[in-house]
Amino acid sequence: MVPKGFIIEVIKMMEITMVSKSQNGISNVELRKILECTIESKKASLKKVLLLPPDITRAHSGAGKITAMYYEMLKDTCQVDIMPAIGTHEPMTVEERKEFFGEGIPMDRFIAHNWKTDVVKVGTVPAEFVKEVSEGLIDEPIDIEINKHLLDKSYDLIISIGQVVPHEVIGIANYSKNIFVGCGGSATINKSHMLGAVYGMERIMGKDFSPVRKVFDYAEENFIKDIPLMYVLTVTTAVQNNVTIHGVFTGRSRKIFEEAVKLCQEKNLTFVDKPFKKVVVYLDPKEFKTTWVGNKAIYRTRMAIADDGELIILAPGVRKFGEDDRNDELIRKYGYVGRKKVLELTKENEDLQNNLSVAAHLIHGSSDGRFTITYAVEKLTKEEVEKANFKYMPLSEALKKYDPTRLKDGYNTLEDGEEIFYISNPAIGLWADKSRF
C-alpha cells in the first residue's frame, strides 16, 4: 500500500522511485521499507555484499543511515563490507564512521579506498569522444580506473549509495560519479576534473549532460556493465542542518538518475532576482576540514554574488587546504589565483600537469577577481590564508558579527543595519542569479 502523500513508481523490475509530497519528507520507517524492497527478491541468494556510501563530507545525504539500515538487514545472512567512496578525501576516522553510520557497524567491516594505489584500469574513453563533448577544448583520451574491489567477482551485489546534488565538476552529482570519482583512480579524477574546469563550471552546475557526465555515461555503458551494481540515490534538503529526505531512487538505469535530477533541480536550486552584495556561509567543522571541501561555499554561491560583492566563509574546522598531502602542498605553492593564471601555470609546471585535479580545484576556488573571498579561521594563520590568495579574518571576530546561532538561512538584517544572505551549509544546494544560469 502506498503511504499517503507519496508517489511511488516502479520503472522496471527492481527500479523504484519514492518521492514525498509532504514537507516532512520520507520517515525512517518508510525509508527502511523501500530499501527492503530493493533486496527482497534476491536476499536469499546473497552471500557477500559491498556497500559504497559517501564519507562524512556528505553528512546531509541520508546515506549514513541508509548504509546502517542495509547492514542491519543483511548482516545475519551474508558478509557485508563497506567502502566509503572518498575519492581524493582523507580516509574516515573511527570517530567519523561512528558519527555518520552509527555505532552498530563493526570497524572491521570497513575497507579504505586509496585513489592512487588500489585501482585497476577498466577502459579508455577515446580522445575523439572527449573532443566532441568538450566542444574541442580537450582532445585527449581519459583512462577509467576503479577500485579493485568492484571487480571482485565474489560480491553478489554492490550497492552505490549517494546524494543527487548540484556539483561544480559534473553538474549534478551522483549515479556513476560515485564509482568513477568516489571509487576512482588518479588518472580518471585528474582528467575529469580538468575537463569540467576548462569547459566552465558556470555552464554546468545544476544541469545534467555535462561533458564529464557524458564521459562517465560512456564508461558506464562500455566498461562496467558486468558489475552487479545497484544505485540508491537520495535528494535532500537541510534547513539549519535539519535534514529532510524528499526522494529515494533505486536501480541501475540512467532513468532513475534523471528522475532524481528533476527533483534535485526543484529542491536544491535557489534562484535570486538580484545578485547578493554580501554572503556569509557557515562550514560545519565535522564536515569541512579543508578548503578542498570547504570551497563549496564559493562554487555554490558564485552565480548569485554581485560583481564587487563579498563572500565571508566561517570555517571553524578548516585546518589545511588539500585533503591529500600532495594536493595540500600544491595549493599552498600556487594559490587560488584565477582561471587564466592557473591555466598558464599548468602549461609551465610539470607538478600541476601531473596533478590536474589540483589545477581544476584552483580554478574552481577563485572568483577571478569578480568578488572578494574571506576565510574566517582559527586553525590557519593569516599568512597561510593570504598566500593562498584569500582574504583573512580571525574567526572570533567574524563570529561576533555573524553569529550562526542567531542567523537564519536567507536574508538577515544585522544590528548595524547591514543586510546579508546567510547559508548554514553550502553542500546541499546551488544559488544563482537567473541571468547567470
Give per-residue pLDDT as tens, 232-284. 999 999 877 788 999 999 999 999 999 999 999 999 999 998 999 999 999 99
Q: What is the pTM of this model?
A: 0.91
* Owner of C-alpha cell 563549496: 296
Confidence band for 4, pLDDT divided at 50, 70 and 90 = very low
**277 in a structural domain:** yes
Query: Which strand (E) or helix (H) includes residue 128?
Result: helix 127-133
**Residue 421 is assigned to a structural domain of this protein:** yes
**DSSP letters for 194-254:** HHHHHH-HHHHTT-SS-HHHHHHHHHHHHHSTTS-EEEEEEEEEEETTEEEEEEEEEESSH
Judged by average pLDDT, the poorest of 6-10, 116-120, 208-212, 236-240 is: 6-10
- φ and ψ at 184, to 5 degrees? -95, 175
For the domain that residue 410 is a member of, what is the CATH number?
3.90.226.30
- Please, what is the average pLDDT of the chain? 94
Same domain, 255 and 288: no
Give 364's pLDDT tier (boundaries 50, 70, 90): very high
Summarize the confidence of residues 319-346 as an average pLDDT: 96
Same domain assignment for residues 277 and 234? no
* Most confident segment among 12-21, 265-274, 427-436: 265-274
Last residue of some domain: 239, 267, 295?
267
Given 232, 267, 302, the domain boundary residue is: 267
> What is the mean predicted confidence (pLDDT) over 107-134?
96
Q: What whole-number distance in Å separates Cα of residue 88 and Cα of residue 6?
A: 37
pLDDT on residue 16? 86
Q: In this structure, is residue 237 part of a structural domain?
A: yes
Does residue 180 share a domain with residue 75? Answer: yes
Is residue 360 one of the residues assigned to a domain?
Answer: yes
**Do 362 and 249 belong together in one domain?**
no
Q: Do the domain assignments include residue 102?
A: yes
From residue 386, give the alpha-carbon distance in Å to each of 193, 282, 296, 376, 396. Answer: 25, 20, 19, 11, 18
Tell me: pLDDT of 2 over 70.
no
Domain end: 227, 251, 267, which one? 267
Tell me what the mean pLDDT of segment 221-228 comes to. Answer: 97
Q: So what's the pLDDT on residue 14?
A: 59
Phi–psi pair at 115, nearest 5 degrees: -70, -10
Q: Give yes or no: residues 200 and 311 share one domain.
A: no
pLDDT at 24 exceeding the cut of 60: yes
Q: How many domains does the chain have?
A: 2
Mark whether 302 and 241 lie in a shared domain: no
Domain holding 71: CATH number? Answer: 3.40.50.11440
| pLDDT, tens digit, 9 for 90 and up, residues 50-81 | 999 999 989 889 999 999 999 999 999 999 99
Is the per-residue pLDDT at 342 higher than 80? Answer: yes
291 and 347 share one domain: yes
Whether 1 is covered by a domain: the verdict is no
Do 156 and 117 share a domain, yes or no? Answer: yes
Domain extent for 287: 270-436
134 and 224, same structural domain?
yes
- In this structure, the answer to whether residues 203 and 188 fall within a common structural domain is yes
Verify that 193 and 323 share a domain, yes or no. no
Residue-level pLDDT at 294: 97
256/369 same-domain check: no
Cα 182 to Cα 192: distance, rounded to the nearest angstrom: 12
